[in-house]
Chain A
Amino acid sequence: MNLAADISIAWPEIFVAVTAMLLLIFGVFQGNQSARLISWLTVGVMFIAAVLVLSSHSGRTVAFNDLFVVDAFANFAKVLLLLGAALTLILAMPFNAREGIPQFEFPVLVLFAVLGMMMMVSANDLISLYLGIELQSLSLYVLAAIRRDALRSAEAGLKYFVLGALSSGILLYGMSLVYGFAGSTGFDNLAAVFAAGDHDGAPIGVIVGLVFIIAGLAFKVSAVPFHMWTPDVYEGAPTPITAFFAVAPKIAAMALFVRVMLEPFGDLFEQWQQVIWFISLASMTLGAFAAINQTNIKRLMAYSSIGHMGFVLVGLAAGNETGAQGVLLYLTVYLFMNVGTFACILAMRRQGRMVEDIDQLAGLSRTSPKMALALAIFMFSMAGIPPLAGFFGKYYVFLAAIQAELYTLAVVGLLASVVSAFYYLRIVKLMYFDEPLDAFDQPVGKEISTIVIGTSAVTALFILVLWPVLGSAAIAAATLFAV
Chain B
Amino acid sequence: MIIQALAFYLFALTAIAAGVMVISARNPVHSVLFLILAFFNSAGLFVLIGAEFIAMILVIVYVGAVAVLFLFVVMMLDINFSELREGFLQYLPIGALVGIILAAELILIFGSWVISPEAAQSIAAPSAAPSELTNTHALGRLIYTQYVYLFQAAGLVLLIAMIGAIVLTLRTRPSVRRQRIAEQVSRPVEDVIEVKDVPTGSGI
- Select the stretch in B40-48, B86-94, B157-165, B185-193 that faces chain A: B157-165
Tier of interface size on chain A = 35 or more
Q: Is B119's CB within 8 Å of the partner chain A?
A: yes
Q: Is B146's CB within 8 Å of the partner chain A?
A: yes
Give which listed residue, A64, A131, A134, A141, contacts B148 with CB less than 8 A.
A64
Most buried by A among B160, B163, B166: B160
The smallest C-beta distance from A168 to any residue of chain B, in angstroms, reads 11
Q: Give the residues in chain A near B153, CB-CB below 8 Å.
A: 119, 128, 131-132, 135
Chain B interfacial residues counted at CB < 8 A? 23
Give which listed residue, B124, B154, B167, contacts A103 with CB less than 8 A.
B167
C-alpha gap A21/B149 in the complex (Å): 17
C-alpha gap A142/B152 in the complex (Å): 21
Q: A64-B149, A128-B150 in contact; A142/B167 too (CB < 8 A)?
A: yes
Main secondary structure of the interface of B (DSSP, over half): helix
Q: Is A67's CB within 8 Å of the partner chain B?
A: yes
Asked if A135 and B150 sit within 8 Å, CB to CB, the answer is: no
Residues of A161-188 whose CB lies within 8 A of B: 182-184
Q: Is A68's CB within 8 Å of the partner chain B?
A: yes
Asked if B156 and A112 sit within 8 Å, CB to CB, the answer is: yes
The smallest C-beta distance from B135 to any residue of chain A, in angstroms, reads 20
Q: Is B147's CB within 8 Å of the partner chain A?
A: yes
Asked if B124 and A131 sit within 8 Å, CB to CB, the answer is: no
Give which listed residue, B119, B149, B164, contacts A67 with CB less than 8 A.
B149
Q: Is A109's CB within 8 Å of the partner chain B?
A: yes
Q: Is A148's CB within 8 Å of the partner chain B?
A: yes
Q: Is B112's CB within 8 Å of the partner chain A?
A: no
Q: Give the residues in chain B near A183, CB-CB below 8 Å.
A: 118-119, 122-123
Q: Give the residues in chain A near B164, CB-CB below 8 Å.
A: 109, 138-139, 141-142
The smallest C-beta distance from A211 to any residue of chain B, in angstroms, reads 20
Residues of B125-162 whose CB lies within 8 A of A: 146-150, 152-154, 156-157, 159-161
Question: Can you spell out 23 A-B residue pairs with CB atoms less than 8 angstroms apart?
Answer: A3-B148, A17-B152, A21-B159, A64-B148, A64-B149, A65-B149, A67-B149, A103-B167, A105-B166, A108-B163, A109-B164, A112-B163, A115-B156, A128-B150, A131-B157, A135-B156, A135-B157, A138-B157, A139-B164, A142-B163, A142-B168, A183-B119, A184-B124
